[in-house]
Amino acid sequence: RESSTYTQKFASFYTAITPVIDDSRLSTKCRLCLDARPLNSYTDTKGKEDGDVIPREVDLYASILRWRSMQWVSCEDICKAFWQVEIIEGDRRFLGMILLPSIIARWSRVPFGCGWSPWALSYGIQVAVDGINDDEVKTSLDYYVDDLCISGTTKGEVNRYRGAILPALESRGFLTNPRKRVHNLDTDEESIGMPVYCSDISGMDWTHTWLGYKWLVDRTVDVMDIKRPMLELEVPLTMTNLRSVLARLFDPLGLWNEITLEFRAIVRELHEQGFGIRKKGIIYKDIIDDEKATVVREKVQACNDFINSNRLLPARFVDMSDIVVFTDASSYAMSVDCRSRGDGSRIFSRLSTHSGGTIPRRELEALRMGVLSVKQLTKSINNRISVYRCVIVSDSMITLYRVRHVLLFHGTSSKMEKLGKPEQRRLNHIYDLVYSLLQENRCMVLEFRHSASTWNVADRLTRPCSLLCDSNIDWSSVTNHFQNETLMHFEVSFDSLNADVLNVIDTIEEDDEILFTVMNSPECAIANVDDSSPWFYEFRRRVQVAQSGDPECVHVSSLLRSNP
């Protein structure tokens, strides 16, 4: 950024969409030929389009999920699809963006390639792939801008797909760089899907990158890791520098969201104390005083020590056909943690630190985030992998009761109608998401299950300082807990969503009928509970919080716990 007195003069120039450049020059230093007329008749901004060709959506999150969902992959890089050129000093004042009347953002290097945009590149790749007659070959290719990923269930499939895709791309002028190719076709099959500790791979120099993640692949290893950020804070410490340093952690899947939670807690605490507040473009209290800066440095150093510790690196390949989605919420954060049911590997996690709302409403929002995340997952990988079973876990009986009532009984109770508008909107959205999810995945078994907070894996993503806890989770104990009886457990199918409400009520079991009757009975105003029960002290605090949301539901939960 720089202040300029030529703002009005700068705004009078019109930069062409596509720069005219001699691409035969070996040097990247060049002078741009700008067409400064208001109307540029020499640049075709849209290109020639074919209505039958639909370019795939450029989605980084979905591309990484598809990369992790397949056992055998070969990643390619298109040569010079996008590259950077340096703008000489004399032309930089014509290439900028006005931020404020006195501030202009300028660039010394600009990316361009293919003559158009990332959309145009995707369009060109899709045109080349559509020329292949084999549908299996088409679906085996995934790409994000100029990074290609060819995947399959066996090594032979990947080699066969690659032998058909690369010539098709070359026929359209897209050449791949063999030196940048990364694959796991030489990796032992028993090593794929197995996590390893950092100490087991120290000193090895075969680290590659794929879409922002480090990919450590060799004959005996196929794991991934984050790019370790440089967490160096300036002296004196400012909020601007702190935000810049903490933003260096790139983890779109949320595989290490515990670190992200710590970073957000640091910034949020300072912001609540009045630091770094921006008003009308001016930042107030940007410099952090020494006492608070010392505390911030200690917390950032603790996160840095964890990043550089002997962590268990997750496997790149994860079985996504059978998943468990944990949801939880606290007054600080709402979280979703999706795991593979087989070995407990984290597939992704979501984190929201927005404040406001009662605990029951935040628990409901966390469950809505979980259902939405499952739908996004199935949409990303459904062309290759099917999710046959999904268990959504919550430790809130109120939330599960409301969701069960909406999904199975279509929310016909007068108690549900008395809920606040925010709860009703979320419940309606959950119904729409589940309906769409089961409509697109008819073979999926969708379960909702209650779990105690002890076995809710997402609980650690709602509490800052969770890095101080044991990071290793005994997954066998968690899965064994699922086999035990629980206070609330129900399955949802596409047929049950379409069934008539009266038919559903007629076919419910006797215990469920009693529960449904009690929920609508005005006589259930007082719950007799044994105060000496070991769970009473912990449960009483939850009741006090939850009673403002739905007293009837809390009474039924009390009855179930006192007389299981």
Domain assignments of the chain as residue spans, ordered by start: 14-185, 239-306, 322-517, 527-563
Assigned CATH for 14-185: 3.30.70
Answer whether residue 454 shows pLDDT above 90: no
Six-digit token string for 70? 């397949």
Six-digit token string for 294? 């010392």
Query: Cα separation of 75 and 183, whole Å?
Result: 6
The position carrying tokens 């996008």 is: 82
More confident of the two residues 27 and 264: 264
Question: Does the pTM of the predicted model rise above 0.85?
Answer: no
Count Cβ atoms below 10 Å from residue 70 Cβ, excluding itself. 22
Query: Cα separation of 76 and 182, whole Å?
Result: 7
- Cβ atoms of 336 and 400 within 8 Å: the answer is no
Task: Give, to the nearest 10 degrees, the angle between helix 551-562 and helix 397-409.
Answer: 110
Band of pLDDT at residue 325, cut at 50, 70 and 90: very high
Q: Give pLDDT, residue 79.
A: 84
Q: What is the dihedral of CA 558, 562, 563, 564, to 10 degrees?
A: 80
The sign one gets for the Cα dihedral 114, 118, 123, 129 is: positive
- The predicted model gives 53-75 an average pLDDT of 86
Q: 142 has which bridge partners?
A: 149
Average pLDDT of the chain? 77
Backbone φ and ψ for 148, nearest 5 degrees, come out as: -110, 150
- 334-388 residue pLDDT tens: 999 999 998 899 999 999 998 888 999 999 999 999 999 999 999 998 778 899 9
- 527-561 residue pLDDT tens: 444 556 655 555 565 555 444 444 445 455 555 44
More confident of the two residues 217 and 479: 217
Query: Cα separation of 399 and 554, whole Å?
Result: 11
**Topology match between the domains 14-185 and 322-517:** no
Band of pLDDT at residue 458, cut at 50, 70 and 90: very high
CATH superfamily of 322-517: Ribonuclease H-like superfamily/Ribonuclease H (3.30.420.10)
- The predicted model gives 102-125 an average pLDDT of 65
